[in-house]
Amino acid sequence: MPLYEHVFISRQDLSNTQAEGLIEHFSTVLADNGGKVVENEYWGVKTMAYKINKNRKGHYAFLKSDAPATAVQEMERLMRLHDDVMRVLTIKVDKHGEGPSIQMQKRDDRDRDGERSDRGDRGGFGGGERRERSFGDRPDRGDRGDRPSFGAPRR
């Protein structure tokens, strides 16, 4: 059977359990039509680049499936009819990637960075040496070279 990857965005005002319930609902739709979900991931609430149906954020979900085309078409049809689902993207792939998706890897990296309590010799932000500047350290702004100022007539 062909392999597919699906990403869908549901409304932001749903709870996490309702959004995860949508994943289970659409997984059963695939299973009822002769397919199976190999893996699913709930990516959480993310800010979108632009508003969709007056929503700035949405619950993102990712499914990896092994299903016939008719099962995928039925699932997409039901997703488009569902009031809580705003966008759907389905891609046919040659093989599924090993391990978690990039989104989940980024989340794991953030979690590991948050757990690290000591920052070593990095210090604060930027990691470099900071030098306090005073007004005396400014370059001389009176010497502007050959550039004409805005008020001076051009030659």
Residue range 10-64, pLDDT digits in tens? 999 999 999 999 999 999 999 999 999 999 989 889 999 999 989 999 999 999 9
Q: Kindly report the average pLDDT of the chain as a whole number.
A: 79
Is 0.75 topped by the overall pTM?
A: no
Of residues 81, 90, 87, 75, the one with CA closest to residue 12: 87
What does R_g of the chain's alpha carbons equal in angstroms?
Answer: 26
Of residues 70, 80, 93, 85, the one with CA closest to residue 21: 85
Of residues 44, 36, 50, 51, the one with CA closest to residue 19: 44
Residue 146's pLDDT is 60
Task: Please give the residue that has the higher pLDDT: either 148 or 7.
Answer: 7
For tokens 């000591």, name the residue.
118
Cβ atoms < 10 Å from Cβ of 62: 20
Query: What are the structure tokens assigned to 44, written together?
Result: 């959480």
Contact 62, 7 (CB under 8 A): yes
